[in-house]
Amino acid sequence: MSKSRTIAHASGRPWLAGRWSDGELIVIEAGKCRVAIMGSPATGLPETIRDLSDLSDVDSVAARLPGSFHLVASLGGRVRVQGTASGLRPIYHARLAGVTVAASRADVLAWLAGAGVDEEQVAVRLLDGMPHPLALTPVWRGVGMVEPGSWLRLDPDGSARAARWWTPPTPEVPLAEGAGPVREALVRAVAARTAPGGIVTCDLSGGMDSTTMCFLAADGPAKVIARTMSSPDPAGDDLVWARRAAQHLPHVQHIVVSGEDWPLRYAGLSDFDEVLDEPTLSVVSRPELARFFFTLSDLGARLHLTGIGGDHVTWSGPTHYHDLLPRRPLLALRQLRGFRALHHWPLGETLRALADRRPYRKWMAGAAESLQRPQPGLEWTLGWAHPPRLAGWVTTGAADNVRAAMKRAAETAEPLAPTRGSHVELAVIRQSGRWLRQVEQMCARAGVPMASPFYDDQVISACLAIRPQDRATPWRYRPVLREAMRGIVPDDCLRRTTKGVFSLPAARSLERHRADLLALWTGSRLGAMGIVDESRIRAAIGGSMTESEQAHLDTAISVEVWLRGIQR
């Protein structure tokens, strides 16, 4: 913490406020309770904590606070530590000298405990698709993770135990009723970030998520600067929609950056020096991220608001109709017919996917036997998860270790929700939350924290409460966000039904940096650990890579670069 300051409030007790790695740090004392909030403003907190008699009572306090934060509460010699429901703010723990210690980063605990890397878990990170609960086991030996949605209780005797504080809502609210709570949660989430004023930057890709952030931010006291990157891909239409939105925001400064002038992926991998506590796919885009955030710093930005996560929390996929088919066949068949027409699903594959009624444990055990087989057709869109796969360059021994880890996990694995559709939603939110957390760590280096209001617990709960048939529909594009933002975002900005296209820069990056990628797999850490066959991966890079192979390559790069970083 730096630049701390003390602010008096009505009770006479001090608020200690300052900066923390994840944003603001505020420590508040009221009655017998002391609470620290790290990452979000805590307006009105003293009044809510004054009468707390037990750490479990903090549930009601945390549920009312906007923002994304770590919370630490101390009461009667016991301590409560919690993160967020999405996993964007995780909690790790380890035993040190007979005492349980909690932290927001796994590598810090590993360093304190003198713990090394778990090579089996390193191999698990090479999966293209890592089904729950594999991600709950850190890559560091002796370090555990509290499941998102649970809090860790630290007792005076040095022991600890976890308890649930958040469960996903039952999705039964009609869209007409649910849009209002979504709108209210998003307004509060953005207002909590813009209230301190200063300069706040936003993405403005022209998509509904970033456009929503810009309009909500423009309504606050902060000066807003919106940034659009024009895609060099001829099929990209982001700039057209971004300029349309900017016309409705006369007080927002709009900056357009040419994608042609932006760094390509894969640049500077051998010089990667970020300190991260687990591998992340964002390393392949590190040159773009670094330039982007240092540019924001030059603009004097206090904070960057991103629309990342809107796809994951306000929209949903057709998996829900796998669940609804036995109970509401007419509704399910109508919706599935629409999805078939929209995505050109073959009838045979659709029927086979719908006939798969395996429980989660059996599905996961079966997935462990298929790690290096071709991807099935519709299992991802109508199944429990993206079927996990390993690339052909993963060694036999490493593949056996991953298979064993999956089978062990399958013995006790429980889905994140009672139905496939809700499980898939939560798994995707957690997966993207893990990625986003590492992006935030990388971007904090430029001195501009990044905030993702769509990942606030209140926003997630409001979105997931809406009926699946209103969120997952082939007949309307992004219905939840459209309805929630009516009256805030102009109708002509809500009509977009396309996504940005950046396939051309990705292809250029691979071609331009092919030699660097080949060099990365000569004397690699993964090769030395016996996890990757270097000759096979170099042969794949030297040829014409499929989209699936390039995804596997990006995963392998993320792990290799991370290993090099921690060994420095």
Q: Which tens digit of pLDDT belongs to each residue from 446-473?
A: 778 889 999 999 999 999 999 999 999 9
pLDDT digits (tens, 9 = 90+) for 373-398: 887 777 678 999 988 999 999 999 99
The CATH code of the domain that includes 224 is 3.40.50.620
Residue of 273, 266, 338 lying closest to 517 (CA atoms): 266
Mode of pairing for the β-strands spanning 223-230 and 33-38: unpaired
- Is residue 466 helix, strand or coil? strand
Q: Is residue 556 in some structural domain?
A: no
Mode of pairing for the β-strands spanning 303-305 and 70-75: unpaired
C-alpha distance from residue 242 to each of 55, 415, 445, 483, 496 (Å) = 46, 39, 28, 20, 11
The answer to whether residues 230 and 294 belong to one domain is: yes
- Is residue 498 helix, strand or coil? coil
Structural domain for 152, as ranges: 2-164
Q: Is residue 298 in some structural domain?
A: yes
Residue of 539, 529, 540 lying closest to 564 (CA atoms): 529
Q: Which pLDDT score is estimated for 274? A: 77
Q: Which pLDDT score is estimated for 46? A: 55
The CATH code of the domain that includes 106 is 3.60.20
Q: Is residue 515 in some structural domain?
A: no
Residue of 34, 566, 522 lying closest to 279 (CA atoms): 566
The answer to whether residues 126 and 51 belong to one domain is: yes
Written in H, E and C, the secondary structure of 250-283 is: CCCEEEEEEHHHCCCCCCCHHHCCCCCCCCCHHH
What's at 236, amino acid-wise?
G
b/e sequence 439-459, b meaning 16+ C-beta within 10 Å: bbbbbbebebbbbbbbbbbbb
Last residue of a domain, one of 456, 480, 500: 500
Q: pTM for the complete prediction?
A: 0.92
C-alpha distance from residue 96 to each of 103, 115, 159, 417 (Å) = 12, 11, 11, 34
The answer to whether residues 39 and 131 belong to one domain is: yes
Q: Is residue 134 in some structural domain?
A: yes
Q: Are 162 and 152 in contact (CB under 8 A)?
A: yes
Q: Could you give the CA distance from residue 489 to residue 172 in angstroms, rounded to a whole number?
A: 26
Last residue of a domain, one of 164, 188, 208: 164
The answer to whether residues 151 and 199 belong to one domain is: no
The answer to whether residues 292 and 160 belong to one domain is: no
Residue of 429, 345, 385 lying closest to 86 (CA atoms): 429
Q: Is residue 531 in some structural domain?
A: no
Mode of pairing for the β-strands spanning 199-203 and 303-305: parallel
The answer to whether residues 109 and 184 belong to one domain is: no
The answer to whether residues 131 and 40 belong to one domain is: yes
Q: How many domains does the chain have?
A: 2
Q: Is residue 566 in some structural domain?
A: no
Q: Is the dihedral of CA 169, 173, 175, 181 positive or negative?
A: negative
The answer to whether residues 121 and 146 belong to one domain is: yes
pLDDT digits (tens, 9 = 90+) for 460-516: 999 999 999 999 999 998 999 999 999 999 999 988 877 665 555 666 788 888 898
Residue of 315, 309, 311, 314 lying closest to 451 (CA atoms): 309
In tens digits, the chain (568 residues) has pLDDT values of 333 333 323 233 333 444 444 557 788 777 778 888 887 655 556 566 666 778 888 887 777 788 899 999 998 889 999 999 999 999 999 999 899 999 999 999 999 999 999 999 999 999 998 999 999 999 999 999 999 999 999 999 989 999 999 999 999 999 999 999 999 999 999 999 999 899 999 989 888 999 999 999 999 999 999 998 876 666 667 888 899 999 999 999 999 887 666 677 887 787 777 778 899 888 887 777 777 777 788 888 889 999 999 989 998 889 999 999 999 999 999 999 999 999 999 999 999 999 999 999 999 999 999 998 887 777 678 999 988 999 999 999 999 999 999 999 999 999 999 999 999 999 999 999 999 998 888 777 777 888 999 999 999 999 999 999 999 999 998 999 999 999 999 999 988 877 665 555 666 788 888 898 999 999 999 999 999 999 999 999 988 888 888 899 999 999 999 999 887 7
Q: Are 264 and 508 in contact (CB under 8 A)?
A: yes
Written in H, E and C, the secondary structure of 8-24 is: ECCCCCEEEEEEECCEE
The answer to whether residues 57 and 106 belong to one domain is: yes
The answer to whether residues 149 and 76 belong to one domain is: yes
Q: Could you give the CA distance from residue 480 to residue 489 in angstroms, rounded to a whole number?
A: 13
The answer to whether residues 146 and 199 belong to one domain is: no
- State the residue for tokens 């459209």: 482
Q: Is residue 64 in some structural domain?
A: yes
Q: Which pLDDT score is estimated for 270? A: 75
Mode of pairing for the β-strands spanning 223-230 and 199-203: parallel
The answer to whether residues 158 and 30 belong to one domain is: yes
Last residue of a domain, one of 482, 500, 518: 500
Q: Could you give the CA distance from residue 53 to residue 60 in angstroms, rounded to a whole number?
A: 12
**Six-digit token pair at 11?**
């009770």
C-alpha distance from residue 505 to each of 151, 234, 258, 383, 518 (Å) = 42, 11, 12, 32, 19
